[in-house]
Structure 1
Amino acid sequence: MLLLGTLPATAQNSSVFERFFANAVTFSKTFPREKVHLHLDNSSYYQGDTIWFKAYVVTATNNQLSNISKPLYVELLDQLGNVLERHIIKLHDGEGEGHIALTNTFFTGYYEIRAYTRWMLAFDDASYFSQTIPIYRKRLTHKESPRSIAVYNMDKSMAQRPLPQKDELEARFYPEGGNLVQGIPCVIGFETVSRDSGFVNLDGFLLSPSGERTIPISTIHDGMGSFMYTPREQPANVEILFRGRSYRFVLPKALPQGYSMSVANRETSFDVTVKRSSESLTDSLALFIFSQGTPHSFNTIEFVGKVSKTLRIMKSDLPSGIVRMSLINAAGHTLCDRFCFSYPKKTITMKGVSDSKVYTPYQKARYEVKVTDTEGKPVRNASVSIAIRDGERTDYIPASQTIETDLLLTSDLKGYIHQPAYYFEEQSRGRRKLLDNLLLIRGWRQYDITQLIGEKPFEPKQMPEPNLTLYGHVDSWFSKQQSNIAVTVLGKRDTIYVSGATYTDSLGNFSLPMDDMYGRMESVIQTKRNGKQKNRYADVSLYRNFEPGLRAYDWRELHPTWEEPVDTLALQQLVDSLTTNQLEANALQIDEVVVKGKKRHSTLKDTESFERDILAFYNIRKHIDKLRDEGKYVSNEVGFFLHNLNPLINPEGTQYGVNPLRYSVNGEEIQLPYIEKDLDMVETAMLYMDKFNRYAYSVDDNYRIQKSELTDAYTHLRVDTASQIALNKYVVRCAFKMADNWSSNKNYRPSRGIRRTVIQGYDEPKAFYSPIYPESGYFDSNADEMRRTLYWNPNLKTDENGIAVVEYYNGSYTTYMNVCAETLVDGVPASLNAFSYPIRKK
């Protein structure tokens, strides 16, 4: 029998739990957490494109724009997990904007863009923004594939992400509340994932101890489902049917005794039931309710001679978003933990109106967006980020990542969430069930809240950054801290110079403010003892290598299914009629002519061939900087350094596995001894299978490979390949790109007391370029007519009627428009994903 009670507005008298609650309140105020969302201008990109983005950084408690951090770090990672670019965005009251030019992106693939503040990494369960975006091969003609991604045969030294799933089918089980207890019925969430197709919806059975099928089980959405199970001493088996085969999995082992917690998601309440396995268990218990790490309320659990107790928690009393319910004892240990979702009480609505369904080439277009609050009143002076895209050439997945899903849902969950906006499209009983099932699985974890309630000290892993500051440390060559050392930093970019000076403290640490610095600068850090003429023999390390841990990709992120949102047949008929009318209106009779032209040689086949030969690509400069930042010794021997990057290269740098290793510099072959001491001048290294020592490569403006015969760096004569062919061994080539001022006749060994590095400031703001095509027929030669983002504005403002109007010009295709707009109004996120042409009915 269940005892049903109502959760009181004020906590009951219980000194130990009151102390826990008060400590949790103090903790949340002392260490407020942040979240971040990036609004991207598009869903996919091509080589040479630019990624435009708007950043919203909020305090996790109430989604209000944050003033805790000023620098925001935005990174672009390749498919294997290597950080290719890092940008620092200057936030103004929690908002910022930036761009990433894909002009140096030779490799195609599924890239990850992630964003975080330094303060977000202070906690064990670091929260950050992450989104996967495809970067396709630049398309030069209509005959080339519109979504081309190369296949590479990279060696293992390039793979940084966690290993992918090995088994053909995996089934993972998540007991509600965290634990199974013998004899207490429990809901178990489960998911089924295939190695070659990601999540799969499957059927199966719970098996009896003798192996007989008992209860049928099924996944219900995106490979996730749940079933009821009463555990015994020996864990039961589950049978899953997949592709005509039967797979067996063992459920988690149950505790012999203890407590369990279950949540019934009602329309207006959460009914939380706590059960104990025996009346002999008499722990003092309390149910704590948290929202984004902030304690909301608690209630002590009194069984009063019963083995179960149910508390009713009204949804109207809860804040919006993820709500965490934790059952803890008087020692501060978490016995059970459960995530629930509370739908927002306040809403912001965005609606848009376009002036046409379809737009002809270079046609002027107008779009109007209106923002209203819960009562339908206009929201004045709302800041809206808006992207207008060529709808027919934009990759579309319905119910994808938005500012609402990031701030209210996915930032608190583990793993990839497929089509997260699907869970917000309606609040029906069935949809609430699916959302609850998602939280049961993606929110499952073993929590320790002893730091939160003051039972265990907390030391942040990182500190907040109210301003951009360069932090560093000086050690002697014998790793002894150097105090009172003068540290001078000199930076140069083009004709701009910056400098700064300070002294190390008693622990050898120093800091220099950089809040007024923009861009990247080649810099020299000099150390000197005060009053001495010569530089100090010292190692300078910098505290700038903080980043989230790498995550594994979900199968769906590497195999997206793009959809057509509109009726393509009806659209094509309309486009054909518009094209015909336009041709008739501009018809001009001309005589028949014969056009002759030279056939352009395509380098696509050469590019594809070279891509298959690539073994590895290293940013040598970045690797060296990171090692020195961490206070590690960097050998100036090229071969030994490459060996540490890739064990297949021998320490002498002469072999890659069983293959000879040859070197080239800026496209010309060079012998290893001539660059043996020049490691500090190496920018990047490309390893590729050069077969019989026959070619060099370069990348043209269209990201195509241009092959050429190898020449010697000193004689400039063609390199002889006959001797290598006679050996019948393929050559592996290491192609170095050197710094612009490199010369093989100079010595680049590190100097006494001097560290050369690149210092990075904030990104310099840049405006999105919107071409104009007046009716006079003027053609804007600066415009990219293959562009798919036609308009981007990160800071569009609504007027006194809550309306904002944009005018722009279509590109070179007849198309419909896809509009993606987002805003954050007083802690309430909202988004709009609309089409000028009517979308297909579900």
Structure 2
Amino acid sequence: MKKSAVLLLLTHLLVLPLVAQSQPAKVLSDYIKEINQFNKRNPQEKVYLHFDNTGYFLGDTIWFKAYTVLAEQHRFSPLSKVLHVELLTPQGEVIANRKLMIENGQCHGEFPLKRIYRSGFYEVRAYTRGMLNFGDDCIFSRVFPVYDEPETDGNYAEKAMDSGFGVKNERKKEKKGGKVNLAFFPEGGNAVVGIASRIGFKAWGAKGEDLQITGAVYNSSGNSVSFLSTYHQGMGFFELLPETTSYKVIVEHEGKQYDFNFSDILPAGYVMRINDTNEESYQIEISKSSVLPRDTIAVSVSCRGTVYAVEAMRLADAPYVFRLPKSRLPAGCIQFTLYDKKGNILAERLSFNTRPLTYYRLSAQTEKQTYVPLEKVNMFLSLNDSIGNPVESSFSLSVRDAGTEIYTSYQDNILTDLLLSSDIKGYVANPMQYFEKDDRATRMKLDLLMMVQGWCRYDWQTMADVSPFRVKHYIEQALPINGKIMELLRNKSKAYADVIFWMNKDNASFHSHCQTDAGGHFYFMLPDSVKLEGKWQLSLSVTEKKKLKHCRIMLDRHFSPVPRSYSYPDLLVKDTVTVFSDEFEDSLKQHSVDEMQYLPQVIIKKQRIRKEISPEFVYDVEKDVNKLMDSGKNYPGTLGEYMENNIPHLRKDSADGPYQYAGKDIVYFFDIQKGSTRYPARGLPPEQMPIENIRQITLYDQYAQLWAVKKIKEEGIEAASPSDIDLPTVASLLHTPVIIMVHPYNDGLHDGYQKGIRHTFYDGYSQVKRFYHIDHSNSVPGDIDFRRTLYWNPEVKTDSQGKAQISFYNNTTCRRMKISAEGLSDSGIPIITKE
């Protein structure tokens, strides 16, 4: 065993003394230089969102505070100025989005959960556009249960969800496994014949739940060569000295045996072992097969894309061992990469360093132990560091009614997310367990987590310039309007064409112009001096020699990531939930609730009667058509073609027959403003109405007769031509037809095509709303208040003594309060609530 002679600890741009020693060492050091330069040229950002609550009901509002940081040291990012936050339905549709201005790395916003939404598990995700260069896995994502509004106000024990029948599912489904599943993770990436290896494993059930197993590893002769048993949350490891490239593993779970093959074993290669049991330092051991030539290789030690240490060696047949002090490395996921002169990764391993871990805790006290309904609450806050010194900083704060708390599997906070969960793969159960102690048992659990769920968010070969890196998305330092101009008939870019845009909203307007580059791309950066909020009318034109040209004008604004599949922990809720199926669904053979929910108890009922008449589905025709135009694709020409592409359960009995929805006839109505003389497609069947004239369509199914009588008749909305519809007759039919409301444009811009001009819309910054703090100072007997979030403030500040005070009013039912505070100091130190 050879001890390390030289260990290089790096704090600035790397300049290795190895350069003077040999040409191989110079090549190895050049990769390290490239990595640290890459991190400066292409810094990664992270986003974390703190929410006011853990789950919601339709009619509630999701309030959030966003923190955008540079990944290297978790300090507020000065780069991106635009944050994209999206609300996705259980089926993966982006039903609402927010475009927020980032100031000093922070912003806040909200999503009203409209009563017309369907209940289910909703996802909120957030990202800057520059983050998308590093893959969709890098964005922030959290799943919330959203229940139907209680039939009795304030009865939050009534938790009901919709089955989602009839809604097109955009999410990928995770592959179902067997009753017992087992995956193997050799330390460093590979097990090698003839070299002692540590093999991590993970056991899980059919739904993804952790399993407890025991078992043994057998060679080809049937002899047991190692034993295994889960140690922590379905994870464990076993030692193995491989003699062949294939072994059988037999495990036992709940009295039954299951067989697996372990064959991910190389006949020759490298093995890297990391010993994390010592609280002061890492021990790194490198071994190779004796058949491999002696060569100069190196281990780089990095954290969040920055290399802090490197060790070069000429590896002989004996293992090479060296130590690395933990105090010289940052807190977080440490990436050990063994590589050769060609930039090939020979072994790679993640470990977690907690030695220099620092965070602040907030404590809260009230004047009284309990409060009567609607009473004013004065709360005193204190923020301190680990040794009790006061801290002056800011954070977001939520106070909730603990009696209405919804318990999910999500337990991350800004500390655990930034340092741990955002840098490894998959769900981390109870992540604070790894931060509260630094004993041998905790380090062993953390080490297993790193072996089993390790994921290289920071791609070593890309950063070392071994693999190419393509910048697809630019950092948005202001609101952009950019895209590409293509010739209409030929698939050819329009180079050096003049592009003019003009925008209008209410009485405000402005315009600008530029020229496309050689690839037909154009780019405008909108000035921050113009307060661009809400939806604007946007028009663009293309001219050549001062004449309008008929071109395809494609805007680059559809970069939202593909919806991810939900995992087992995403759908875990500790409460009984009632799931309502649609009246069209006689059974769950095709749409099993078990595919979407993993709950202690599920009750299937008929669709509940809503408190108010609302559409079953809303289709944003404008958004869908613009998305196709922006990608240069053809779009449906008529309403009928659009419905065929977008509405499930739409059928025709014959080619020339009318459409039906789930076996029901369709009655069309046009939402025309009173007194308007503009009646689109008069004389045409509704299905043949030009799609360019339509902004939105809504589908009303159940209780459509009530809606028809109350709304359509009272508001004078016109029925589909050519025949008039007898509303009383429609309402009295035994099989009430489905109503499709067509909402045409009323702006005059969409009546006809103008050569060389495209009329569309542009979403500016979202208008930021403030949480409404109810004042019960003048309450009278009989007043009721069922708020679940009693207090929300995205910006609470402590003074130089670390103190702050807030005041709010209690609701009608709260007897115990739940406090959640999260934040980040200017130096990147997380702030969490003291339990």
Give the aligned residue type for 1:272.
Answer: I
Residue 48 of structure 2 is aligned to residue 37 of structure 1: yes
SS in 2 for 1:80: coil
Residue 569 of structure 2 is aligned to residue 556 of structure 1: yes
In the alignment, the residues of structure 2 paired with residue 351 and residue 724 of structure 1 have an alpha-carbon distance, to the nearest angstrom, of: 63
Q: Which segments of 5 or more consecutive residues in structure 2 lack a partner in the other structure?
A: 11-15, 19-24, 577-605, 673-681, 711-716
Aligned residue number for residue 138 of structure 1? 149
Q: Structure 1 residues 247, 681: CA separation in 2 closer, same or farther (over 3 Å shift)?
A: farther
Aligned residue number for residue 538 of structure 1? 551
Q: Which of 454, 467, 474 lines up with 2:465 in the alignment?
A: 454
Q: Structure 2-normalised TM-score?
A: 0.83
In the alignment, the residues of structure 2 paired with residue 152 and residue 125 of structure 1 have an alpha-carbon distance, to the nearest angstrom, of: 26
In the alignment, the residues of structure 2 paired with residue 171 and residue 451 of structure 1 have an alpha-carbon distance, to the nearest angstrom, of: 31
Aligned residue number for residue 368 of structure 2? 356
Q: CA deviation at 1:695?
A: 4.2
Q: Which of 508, 525, 532 lines up with 1:518 in the alignment?
A: 532
Aligned residue number for residue 425 of structure 2? 414
Q: Structure 1 residues 606, 352: CA separation in 2 closer, same or farther (over 3 Å shift)?
A: closer
Q: Which segments of 5 or more consecutive residues in structure 1 lack a partner in the other structure?
A: 564-602, 702-709, 836-842
Q: Which of 353, 356, 366 lines up with 1:342 in the alignment?
A: 353
Per-residue CA shift, 1:528-564, capped at 9, x if unaligned?
Answer: 426657x43222111111133432211121122269x
Aligned residue number for residue 741 of structure 1? 746
Map 1:204-223 to 2 at 5 A: 204-211=215-222, 215-223=226-234
Q: Which stretch shifts more, 245-254 or 129-138? A: 245-254
In the alignment, the residues of structure 2 paired with residue 672 and residue 357 of structure 1 have an alpha-carbon distance, to the nearest angstrom, of: 70
In the alignment, the residues of structure 1 paired with residue 252 and residue 737 of structure 2 have an alpha-carbon distance, to the nearest angstrom, of: 47
Residue 790 of structure 2 is aligned to residue 790 of structure 1: yes
Q: Which of 284, 290, 295 lines up with 1:283 in the alignment?
A: 295
Q: Which stretch shifts more, 756-765 or 257-266? A: 756-765
Q: CA deviation at 1:410?
A: 0.9
SS in 2 for 1:450: helix
Give the aligned residue type for 2:488.
Answer: W
Give the aligned residue type for 2:295.
Answer: D
Aligned residue number for residue 674 of structure 1? 686
Per-residue CA shift, 1:182-218, capped at 9, x if unaligned?
Answer: 1222222222222246233333332343556664422
Aligned residue number for residue 240 of structure 1? 251
Aligned residue number for residue 154 of structure 1? 166
In the alignment, the residues of structure 2 paired with residue 700 and residue 818 of structure 1 have an alpha-carbon distance, to the nearest angstrom, of: 46
Aligned residue number for residue 639 of structure 2? 638
Q: Structure 1 residues 610, 558: CA separation in 2 closer, same or farther (over 3 Å shift)?
A: farther
Check whether the contact 1:208–1:214 (CA below 8 A) recurs between aligned residues: yes
Check whether the contact 1:80–1:161 (CA below 8 A) recurs between aligned residues: no
SS in 2 for 1:103: coil
Q: Structure 1 residues 420, 666: CA separation in 2 closer, same or farther (over 3 Å shift)?
A: farther
Q: Which of 639, 664, 684 lines up with 2:668 in the alignment?
A: 664
Check whether the contact 1:639–1:654 (CA below 8 A) recurs between aligned residues: no
Q: Structure 1 residues 158, 19: CA separation in 2 closer, same or farther (over 3 Å shift)?
A: same
Q: Which of 435, 438, 443 lines up with 2:449 in the alignment?
A: 438
Residue 82 of structure 2 is aligned to residue 71 of structure 1: yes
Give the aligned residue type for 1:228.
Answer: E
Q: Structure 1 residues 101, 826: CA separation in 2 closer, same or farther (over 3 Å shift)?
A: same
In the alignment, the residues of structure 2 paired with residue 6 and residue 562 of structure 1 have an alpha-carbon distance, to the nearest angstrom, of: 57
SS in 2 for 1:427: coil
Check whether the contact 1:77–1:84 (CA below 8 A) recurs between aligned residues: yes
Residue 781 of structure 2 is aligned to residue 772 of structure 1: no
Aligned residue number for residue 812 of structure 2? 812
Q: CA deviation at 1:128?
A: 1.4
Q: CA deviation at 1:734?
A: 7.4
Residue 270 of structure 2 is aligned to residue 259 of structure 1: yes
In the alignment, the residues of structure 1 paired with residue 265 and residue 663 of structure 2 have an alpha-carbon distance, to the nearest angstrom, of: 54
Aligned residue number for residue 759 of structure 2? 756
In the alignment, the residues of structure 2 paired with residue 697 and residue 276 of structure 1 have an alpha-carbon distance, to the nearest angstrom, of: 77
Give the aligned residue type for 1:327.
Answer: L
Q: CA deviation at 1:6?
A: 7.3
Residue 489 of structure 2 is aligned to residue 471 of structure 1: no
Per-residue CA shift, 1:403-429, capped at 9, x if unaligned?
Answer: 001111111112222332232232222
Per-residue CA shift, 1:19-55, capped at 9, x if unaligned?
Answer: 1111212111111111111111111111121111111
In the alignment, the residues of structure 2 paired with residue 700 and residue 412 of structure 1 have an alpha-carbon distance, to the nearest angstrom, of: 56
Q: Structure 1 residues 154, 359: CA separation in 2 closer, same or farther (over 3 Å shift)?
A: same
Q: Which of 705, 717, 740 lines up with 2:726 in the alignment?
A: 717
In the alignment, the residues of structure 1 paired with residue 179 and residue 740 of structure 2 have an alpha-carbon distance, to the nearest angstrom, of: 39
In the alignment, the residues of structure 2 paired with residue 312 and residue 98 of structure 1 have an alpha-carbon distance, to the nearest angstrom, of: 47
In the alignment, the residues of structure 2 paired with residue 207 and residue 109 of structure 1 have an alpha-carbon distance, to the nearest angstrom, of: 46
In the alignment, the residues of structure 1 paired with residue 423 and residue 227 of structure 2 have an alpha-carbon distance, to the nearest angstrom, of: 31
Q: CA deviation at 1:246?
A: 2.7
Q: Which of 543, 552, 570 lines up with 1:529 in the alignment?
A: 543
Q: CA deviation at 1:815?
A: 1.6
In the alignment, the residues of structure 1 paired with residue 431 and residue 294 of structure 2 have an alpha-carbon distance, to the nearest angstrom, of: 41
Q: Which stretch shifts more, 194-203 or 810-819? A: 194-203
Check whether the contact 2:65–2:108 (CA below 8 A) recurs between aligned residues: yes
Residue 325 of structure 2 is aligned to residue 328 of structure 1: no
In the alignment, the residues of structure 2 paired with residue 448 and residue 814 of structure 1 have an alpha-carbon distance, to the nearest angstrom, of: 49
Check whether the contact 1:51–1:99 (CA below 8 A) recurs between aligned residues: yes
Q: Which of 264, 277, 295 lines up with 2:307 in the alignment?
A: 295
Q: CA deviation at 1:824?
A: 1.0
Give the aligned residue type for 2:259.
Answer: R
Per-residue CA shift, 1:281-321, capped at 9, x if unaligned?
Answer: 32321000111011112111233x44311221111111111
Q: Percent identity?
A: 27
What is the aligned-residue RMSD (CA, Å)? 3.8
Q: CA deviation at 1:827?
A: 3.6
Q: CA deviation at 1:232?
A: 3.8
Map 1:18-97 to 2 at 5 A: 18-97=29-108
SS in 1 for 2:415: helix
In the alignment, the residues of structure 2 paired with residue 712 and residue 170 of structure 1 have an alpha-carbon distance, to the nearest angstrom, of: 58
Check whether the contact 1:39–1:55 (CA below 8 A) recurs between aligned residues: yes
In the alignment, the residues of structure 2 paired with residue 608 and residue 436 of structure 1 have an alpha-carbon distance, to the nearest angstrom, of: 52
Aligned residue number for residue 116 of structure 1? 127
Q: Structure 1-normalised TM-score?
A: 0.83
Aligned residue number for residue 274 of structure 1? 286
Check whether the contact 1:474–1:538 (CA below 8 A) recurs between aligned residues: yes
In the alignment, the residues of structure 2 paired with residue 717 and residue 685 of structure 1 have an alpha-carbon distance, to the nearest angstrom, of: 22
Residue 234 of structure 2 is aligned to residue 231 of structure 1: no
SS in 2 for 1:311: strand
Residue 620 of structure 2 is aligned to residue 619 of structure 1: yes
Check whether the contact 1:180–1:252 (CA below 8 A) recurs between aligned residues: no
SS in 1 for 2:160: coil
